[in-house]
Amino acid sequence: MDMSQYLGMFIEEARDHIQSLNDNMLKLEENPEDLQLVNEIFRSAHTLKGMAGTMGFVNMQKLTHAMENVLAAARDGKLKVNPNIMDVLFKTVDALEAYLDVIVATGTEGQETNSHLVNVLNAILVKPTEEMALPSTSKTSKKYEYDEFVVRAIERAWSQGFNVYKFDVVLDQNCLLKSARAYLVFRTVEELGEIIHSKPSVQDIEDEKFDFEFSITVISKQPIEKIRERILSISEIREVKALEIKSGEVGRAEEKEEIEEVQQETQVQETVKVVRQQKQEAPQKTSKTVRVDIERLDVLMNLVSELIIIKSRIEGLAKKYNDRQYEESIEYLERITTSLHDAVMKVRMVPVERVFSRFPRMMRDLARELGKEFELVMSGEDTEVDRTIVDELGDPLIHLLRNAADHGIEDPEERVKNGKPRSGLIKLSAYHDGNNVVIEVEDDGKGIDLEKVKQKAIEKGLLKEDQIDLSDQEIIDFLFMPSFSTKDKVTNLSGRGVGLDVVKTKIEQLGGMVEVKTQKGKGTKFVIRLPLTLAIIQALLVTVHDEIYAIPVASIREIVDVAKEDIKVVQKGKEIIMLRNQVIPIKHLHSIVGLEPVLDKKKFTVVIVRRGEKLTGIIVDRLLGQQDIVIKSLGKYLEGITLISGATILGDGSVAMILDPNMLTV
């Protein structure tokens, strides 16, 4: 029987069960005597085992079966759950998730058997009174150690018929430009395959923070000797050792650390407080739902978008006629179209819990890695946002949460010394604010040292020493620049300056913005504001000369008429106006879009747009009114134009560009 038709359903169901395992195991770690939680975990594992067996994923089935046996023993009172057993169970869930990733990529579960985990789970049943840990034999049997992401890439490569090689390259002792020579090696090898790992890291190699040796791991279908000969053809290469990595020879680098942790006494385990999610358990309610392919929803949304476009065109034609019945029909069509649009948008909306649910487990592991104590408090998980936005939120939030744990929260001893609770607090919250969704990541750590940021900016040549009149916000903006980091010691979590610039870029691509509020010694709050949807929005249509532009209504604070004499020129030729005792800089939309400005007017129409708390006035020629518009992508050839976030088709068939408010306020 062909089971491939059920693969998509299996993947979705498996994801739900793995997430349920993670959530309930975090709760069980705090309440090891709660048999109801053990039952919930057992049911998820049992269901997952049956699904894997039905689909023919034998290795996944064996691992889940071993996990199920341990849970059954705990449920029957034959086994007492302790921190070491929980570590093994968490490791098992990670392995199940790795299986699922390979299944998503290849349709098969790969070649990894995880026999060492199965042996550990079975050994727990043999000696339930002893603290079990991953055996050292599972580590020593592995010749090559990599982090989890590289291991998954290797497993995926094997499943697709690729070979995996490791090359140890030794440079000549007289080589003067080591990083340049290494760059040539990288470029040569990438012509024959893909480099998935280097030791030391690529950044260290670029900075020449290595002796005369480095190693690279390569995925390729080319013969190993061919790649080795190409490397040796580069001058100043003294020696190249080439080894092929076989199945079963790869282990995860973090296993050794976990073994050492698990084998330590329980009192050592207690120095790291487990992150927990604090929220009131809402009473469960039954609902009738059905899984729908997201492509079908996209088709429905596109049809609604076309309907809105033709509705706008009919409205334009209706102005030519003075027929009451015709106008009533148009109004009725508009009500139906609006209701249909709202209904489709609600179908596309998903709660941010879909993203939030992965963070408690991540923060638990992070606390153990950093040796810090903190708890994660989440709220507003039921806040709904468009599916396309939710899918892109994961990476920015991971950066901010890791940043809060590494940069923000102090070590327990330092917190006690400063009169703070030993355990830190990280809050992750979401809520609606008008037509926006606001997500906040807040910590009660040491805050941002603005003076240190300023000194780093001077060191990097971004700021001159005589520029001391910067506002706090202008100093904070340096943190969002590429390769900017205030971390003195480079760690696996931070120190490369590749975090906050990624966050800002991703959020602005989604039409949102990031604000930072900080107080030294008190903590830091990152505020992300995002539109509810990226498909259909309300916009104000304005003109400059004969061109029409759209400005999202959600970003407009107000519209005012300003007399020419009320526009003042300050330092460096900047223009401002005073509005209710508030200074607001203004810009001419003509100049922004590259047209000749009209300066002979006695009165100007100014659209005040906002970016968080920052206001900017945009001078336009004329207002055409508010309208629902359908956002169309500019395509890859125009995606580099930061001022324009998209385009829309108007009722008469013409195209209007949609201005990005984030760029207007820069």
Euclidean distance between the first and the last CA atom of the chain, given in angstroms as a whole number: 60
436: which 2 tokens?
């926006």
CA nearest 218: which of 279, 164, 294? 164
Q: Other CB atoms closer than 10 Å to residue 510's CB: what's the count?
A: 19
Task: Say which residue the tokens 């076989």 belong to.
Answer: 246
115-126 vs 83-106: helix axis angle to the nearest 10? Answer: 150
- Which candidate in 24, 163, 403, 436 is catalytic? 403
Q: Which two tokens stand for residue 60?
A: 């996944």
β-strand partners of 213: 170
For 563, list phi and psi in degrees, rounded to 5.
Answer: -70, 150
The SS3 assignment for 401 reads helix
**Distance between CA atoms of 467 and 143, rounded to whole angstroms?**
54
3-state secondary structure of 110: coil
DSSP string covering 270-335: TTSPPP----PPPPP---------HHHHHHHHHHHHHHHHHHHHHHHHHTT---HHHHHHHHHHHH
C-alpha span between 454 and 461 (Å, rounded): 11
Which residues pair with residue 195 across a beta bridge? Answer: 218
Residue 344 corresponds to which tokens in the numbers above? 């489709």
Helix (H) or strand (E) holding 24: helix 7-30
3-state helix, strand, coil in the chain (%, to 5): 45, 25, 30
Enumerate residues 6+ apart whose C-beta is below 8 A from 384.
Answer: 349, 350, 351, 352
213: annotated active-site residue: no
Tell me if the bond preceding 200 is cis, omega within 30° of 0: yes
Which tokens hold the place of 224? 């190993």
Q: What are the start-end ranges of the E strands in 460-602?
A: 513-519, 523-531, 536-544, 547-552, 556-563, 568-569, 575-579, 582-588
Catalytic residue among 17, 40, 59, 68: 68
Residues with Cβ within 8 Å of residue 531, at least 6 apart in sequence:
389, 435, 436, 437, 510, 511, 512, 537, 552, 554
Residue 46 catalytic? yes
Q: Which of 13, 39, 46, 327 is catalytic?
A: 46
H or E segment and range at residue 67: helix 58-75
Helices 500-509, 387-403: crossing angle, 10 deg rounding = 160
- CA 461/CA 5 separation, integer angstroms: 58
Residues that are catalytic:
46, 68, 403
